[in-house]
Amino acid sequence: MRANATSAPGQARPLVFAGFSASSWAFALRVWLATLLALYVSFWLELESPSSAALTVAILALPTRAQGMEKAGYRLLGTAIGVAASIVIAGVFSQTGGLLLAVFSIWIGLCVYAAGMLDGNRAYAAALGCTTVALIAIQQIDSPLQVFPTGVARGAAIAIGVLAVALVNEVLAAPAYHPVLASRLEALHRRGMDVAQGAARGEASSSSVAAGLLRDIAALRPEIASLTTESSDGPARTAAARSAMVDLVTVLSLARSLAALPVAILPTEVAGDRDGGASGLIAVCRAWLRGEILRKSADVRSSLDALRAGTRPPQTWRAPLYRSRRIAAEGGARTAIHFALIAMLFVMAGWPTTELCLSLVAVIIGLGSTAPDPRSFTMTALLATPIACLLAGILKYLVFNGVSEFQLLAIGLAPVVIGLALLISLPSRMLSSVGRLTLVFTLAIFAPTNPQSYDPEVFLVTSLFVCLASALVFAAQLLLPSLSGERRIRLLLGEARAELNHVDSRQVRHLPLEEAAFRDAARIEQIVTANDGSTSNDQVVAEAMRCFDQAAILRRCRVELDRLAAGALAEPARAAQAALALRNDRAILATAEALRQAASRRGLSVNSTLAALVSASVAFASIQSSQGRRP
């Protein structure tokens, strides 16, 4: 065992053995022990499908207690929905032939649509509604009376797997997740303040840097939700982390408005004052933005302190999710067609005992719906399935070869389960995905039972259908490609532009400014993800950030002017609203000067409103040229 030589001086160096840290080995050991516990209890209770309990452990194999427990809860929920749907579909359409396959296709499309409208483990629960129907109703397509007992048996096995994971994580003290999230939020806070300090110095704000920062902030949303199940103070930690995340987006939005001021070309004739009016307004705007950035930064620090202490933050924000119904609907329709095409192929070929292959097709489609790129997920499955078949064959016919004792089963499974769990713990997303899928498919093909079955014909047929299922899904996705990244970007940018043109009449009007800005940040995260996770496409990123900036500024102007609409400054406020509706930078700045003079005569302070109007004037100063460069 050796220490990691790359650790920073003064810090405890993590122990490393065989290239993996001690935490990775502890995680792999927990996965192996939970798998054995789930199998032992399933054998003892003589469950119909003990392998489902082991598969549950493989699917819930996550490094921290919070992540595993949240996914476990959604797995139970998704399974319950899938079992209910299986009973209804089998009961109503069991004798309808081709109509039954059409209903399966529609259900798969609906589940993929629901997954597309959600994120994190909620999306996984929606996808699980698809996979549960596949493993219960489709596999029992010729014996509908077995759907209910099969569903009950699967539910019992999954419950045992969940309890095994929970018990092992508790006994072996699986690490908490909130320190990891606190560190990541702190790092994001430092990056955001670096952008703000550069803006205060008059440095131009890079759209690619801002988009990358927004992507990293919004990507924490599903992970923060997992804190709720971590401990008794989980809900308070979740609220604190969520508030810090939302305020970070506001800090970046304010910093970009500040950075735009020095380089903007503002009209020089404002209310008859050739230079003084514009210069004074810019000074007011700059001072207010600096103060607001400092205030929001203090809010982030307060929320981070509350996250560590397990208390609720002073200000609680929601983190509304942005999802495109158009993208989700197109994704659901395409996957429904993929399944229907493969089902038609089986019907025309007349192959016997193809229920297993068809159910695995639905499983791969359902799980792929939660990935950013379904085709990439299918390619990973295409790589993992033959490896899993090889490992399962080695276990069944070389390692065990007729053995039925549980102690030998535990020893024989150790190298495979621990090795693949170590692969899951790697930071590489590709290797981690291959490790997880290989572990899942290996346990599914090996299918531990009591007593263990060693029928070579069953094994070969299962292996063939597992590999064939992934190949057929990949072929269907080639024939009718999944929604491309370019298509997603076009749709998301189109929705951003449409929402910008109707910023007062859309559903975000009822949201506070901070929550509405986070919702827009979630859209930026999806655009960058659709762009292969890169911010190198300057045109796309610049357009997305332009919509983000202008929408945030317009909403701030609307809130500030609404506040003045019923008071002594109602008339200049209405004039400013009219100028904003025209998107005319000179008119906006002129109304800001008129508002300042009116407030000065009455001894009122409207610096926040003036700052919002000046920011709007800057944002729309070059709107025509930016429209001409849209991708």
Q: Name the one residue in this structure whose structure tokens are 């008071």.
A: 567
Q: What is the mean pLDDT of the chain?
A: 87
Q: Is the pLDDT of residue 268 over 70?
A: no
Q: Quick check: 430 pLDDT over 70?
A: yes
DSSP label of 400: I
Share of residues in the chain with pLDDT > 70 (%) = 91
Number of H helices, E strands in the chain: 24, 3
- Edge-first strand order for the sheet with 2-3 is 2-3, 15-17, 20-21
Phi then psi dihedrals of residue 270, to 5 deg: -130, 115
Q: What is the pTM of this model?
A: 0.90
3-state SS of 298-363?
Answer: HHHHHHHHHHHHCCCCCCCCCCCCCCCHHHHHHHHHHHHHHHHHHHHHHHHHCCCCCHHHHHHHHH
Q: How many CB atoms lie within 10 A of CB 197?
A: 12
Using 50, 70 and 90 to split pLDDT, how confident is the model at 629?
Answer: very low
| Model pLDDT, residue 452 | 80
Inform me whether the pLDDT recorded for 276 exceeds 80: no
pLDDT band at 271 (very low <50, low <70, confident <90, very high): very low
Q: Mean pLDDT throughout 154-161?
A: 90
Does the pLDDT at position 552 exceed 80? yes
Distance CA 369, CA 48 (A): 29
Residue 165 has pLDDT above 50, yes or no: yes
Rounded distance between C-alpha atoms, residue 617 and residue 556, angstroms: 13
Structure tokens at 421: 């769990």
Banded pLDDT at 7 (limits 50, 70, 90): very low
What is the 3 state secondary structure string of 480-541? Answer: CCCCCHHHHHHHHHHHHHHHHHCCCCCHHHHCCHHHHHHHHHHHHHHHHHHCCCCCCCHHHH
The size of the chain, in residues, is 631
pLDDT value at 441 more than 80:
yes
Range in 252-256, 452-456, 461-465 with the lowest mean pLDDT:
452-456
Convert 34-46 to b/e letters by CB count within 10 Å (16 or more is b).
bbbbbbbbbbeee
Residue 610's pLDDT is what? 93
Residue 16 phi/psi, 5-degree rounding, is -130, 135
Distance from chain centroid for Cα 538? 24
Tell me which of 11 and 416 has the higher pLDDT.
416
pLDDT in tens, 491-513: 999 999 998 888 755 455 688 99
Give me the pLDDT at residue 622, please. 56
Q: What average pLDDT does the segment 133-154 reach?
A: 85
- Among 345, 289, 372, 335, CA closest to 119: 372
Residue 422's nearest CA partner among 439, 444, 445, 397 is 439
CA distances from 268 to 240, 251, 258 (A): 45, 29, 19
Asked which of 130-134, 208-212, 359-363, 621-625 is least confident by mean pLDDT, the reply is: 621-625
Query: What is the dihedral angle through the alpha carbons of 620, 621, 622, 626, rounded to the nearest 10 degrees?
Result: -10
What does the pLDDT look like over 568-594, one tens digit per residue? Answer: 899 999 999 999 988 888 899 999 999
Helix axes 207-218, 178-200, angle to 10 degrees: 160
- pLDDT at position 216 is 96
> Backbone dihedral region of 223: left (phi > 0), alpha (psi from -120 to 50 degrees) or beta?
alpha
Tens-place pLDDT, residues 106-116: 999 999 999 99
Q: Per-residue pLDDT tens for 284-339? A: 999 999 999 999 999 999 999 999 999 999 999 999 999 999 999 999 999 999 99
| Planar angle of CA 131, 137, 138, nearest 5 degrees | 75
Lowest model confidence (mean pLDDT) among 141-150, 500-509, 542-551: 500-509
Pull the structure tokens for residue 377.
Answer: 């997920």
Per the model's pLDDT, the better-predicted residue between 416 and 66 turns out to be 416
Q: Which of the given ranges, 183-187, 375-379, 506-510, has the highest pLDDT on average?
A: 183-187
Residue with tokens 């493969």: 342
- Report pLDDT for 351: 65
pLDDT grade, residue 274 (50/70/90)?
very low
Question: Coil, helix or strand for 270?
Answer: strand
Bridge partners, 260 (sequence order): none
Q: Are 354 and 522 in contact (CB under 8 A)?
A: no
Buried b (16+ CB within 10 A) or exposed e, 305-331: ebbeebebbeeebebbbbebebbbebb
Q: Which residues contact 54 (CB under 8 A, 6 or more apart)?
A: 35, 38, 39, 42, 161, 443, 448
Interatomic CA distance for residues 300 and 303, integer angstroms: 5
- Specify whether the CB–CB gap between 388 and 438 falls below 8 A: yes
Which of 135-144, 153-162, 292-301, 596-605 is the least confident region?
135-144
The domain segmentation of the chain, as residue ranges, is 16-175+324-479, 497-628
Confidence of residue 279 (pLDDT cuts 50, 70, 90): confident
Q: pLDDT at position 508, please?
A: 52
- Contact assessment for residue 68 and residue 169, using Cβ atoms and an 8 Å cutoff: yes
If pLDDT is split at 50, 70 and 90, which confidence band does 402 have? confident
- pLDDT of 624 reads 41
> Per-residue pLDDT for 457 more than 50?
yes
Q: Which residues contact 212 (CB under 8 A, 6 or more apart)?
A: 528, 535
> What does the pLDDT read at residue 509?
62
